[in-house]
Amino acid sequence: MSRNAEDLARLIRDRAGDAPVRLGLILGSGLGHLAEAVDGTAIDYADLEGFPHAGVSGHNPRLVIGDLEGQRVAVFGGRAHYYETGRGDAMRLPLEVLRELGAEALIVTNAAGSMRPDIPPGELMLLSDHINFSGLNPLIGEPSDARFVPMTDAHDPLMRAGLKVAAEAEGVTLKEGVYAWYSGPSFETPAEIRAIRTLGADAVGMSTVPEIILARFLGLRVAAISTITNMAAGLSDESISHEHTKAMAPLGAAKLEKVLRRFLASF
């Protein structure tokens, strides 16, 4: 763990209290208001040296530490994407801090385009696995042998089972699928979408995969859920834009909040 992560964890504990955090939650585009559900202390990323600027609209760059359904959680209101900085490891320090605060698990959320007609915009998709189609890796340059992270079952089977049970209890449809990471920031071409569909992807987005890799590297159990905001390029007549993503994400956000609350209550 870096010195910086220890220092930041101390600063956070001084402000938010000493009780260990159990679970971290990263909020994707248009999902930022979920942080308001947490009864706790908010700290701006700007006060946490080395945290990303999270300069993408639709994100809220604050860390909120507090209680949700009786569990102590750390909610990251924004993330850094590879396409903002050219650095694949931009979320490494925040996740190191999460580990340092005591967390054992992480749930990552994002907005994504779907390639599955049975998972249309407004629905949620639980990631069963992912394809790193960017060729990038947040552990490039990590010198220790810990960099050789096994990725079989990277998407924690027990957490996924728990999330499915929670969704069912809430009457929320939660299908599982494979997420492909494209670096962005331009959206994909229809040909690229046909290519990854052929290769087994069900949804596409510009985030999450680096965070899954980093979480496993740090020994955190991890699961991820996409809110589907559009059909991927070439699969519908609707135009694809960031504005549209931000407008559609809240549709899934309400369902996501129900599922996460129910999951946490029995975590």
Quick one: 23 or 178, whose CB is closer to ligand HPA?
Answer: 178
By CB under 6 A, is residue 230 in contact with ligand HPA?
yes
List the one residue out of 115, 10, 107 whose CA is nearest residue 68: 107
Clarify whether 137 is annotated catalytic. Answer: no
Minimum distance between the CB of residue 245 and ligand HPA, rounded to whole angstroms? 4
Query: What sections of 102-208 are H helices per DSSP?
Result: 157-170, 190-198
Cα–Cα distance for residue pair 96/9, rounded to 1 Å: 9
Cα–Cα distance for residue pair 63/42, rounded to 1 Å: 6
Give the one residue of 63, 174, 215, 240 binding ligand HPA; rule: CB under 6 A. 240
Minimum distance between the CB of residue 230 and ligand HPA, rounded to whole angstroms? 5
By CB under 6 A, is residue 206 in contact with ligand HPA?
yes
Clarify whether 1 is annotated catalytic. Answer: no
Cα–Cα distance for residue pair 27/109, rounded to 1 Å: 5
Clarify whether 33 is annotated catalytic. Answer: no
Structure tokens, 110: 């994002």
By CB under 6 A, is residue 112 in contact with ligand HPA?
yes
Minimum distance between the CB of residue 42 and ligand HPA, rounded to whole angstroms? 26
Give the one residue of 229, 246, 255, 256 binding ligand HPA; rule: CB under 6 A. 229
If one counts every other C-beta atom within 10 angstroms of the C-beta of residue 135, the result is 7
Clarify whether 29 is annotated catalytic. Answer: yes
Among all chains, which residue has been given the structure tokens 């080395």? Answer: 50
Q: Which stretch binds ligand HPA (CB under 6 A): 123-131, 161-169, 227-235, 254-262?
A: 227-235
Clarify whether 91 is annotated catalytic. Answer: no
Which residue among the candidates 60, 110, 226, 230 is catalytic per the annotation? 230
Clarify whether 207 is annotated catalytic. Answer: yes
Beta-bridged to residue 129, according to DSSP, are: 178
Which residue among the candidates 59, 110, 155, 182 is catalytic per the annotation? 59
Give the one residue of 232, 235, 259, 264 binding ligand HPA; rule: CB under 6 A. 232
DSSP 178-225: EEEE---SSPPPHHHHHHHHHTT-SEEESSSHHHHHHHHHTT-EEEEE
Most distant pair of Cα atoms in the chain: their distance: 52
Quick one: 125 or 159, whose CB is closer to ligand HPA?
Answer: 125
How far are the Cα atoms of 66, 83, 203 from residue 180, in angstroms, in the given order? Answer: 32, 15, 6
By CB under 6 A, is residue 111 in contact with ligand HPA?
yes
Clarify whether 82 is annotated catalytic. Answer: no
Clarify whether 244 is annotated catalytic. Answer: no
List the one residue out of 74, 30, 80 whose CA is nearest residue 55: 80
How far are the Cα atoms of 70, 193, 252 from residue 199, in angstroms, in the given order? Answer: 41, 10, 26
- Segment 165 to 194, residues that bind ligand HPA, using CB under 6 A: 187-188
Count of residues that interact with ligand HPA, criterion CB under 6 A: 13
Q: CB–CB of 82/136 below 8 Å?
A: yes
Residues that bind ligand HPA (CB under 6 A): 111-113, 187-188, 204-206, 229-230, 232, 240, 245
Q: Active-site positions?
A: 29, 59, 81, 83-84, 111, 206-207, 230, 242
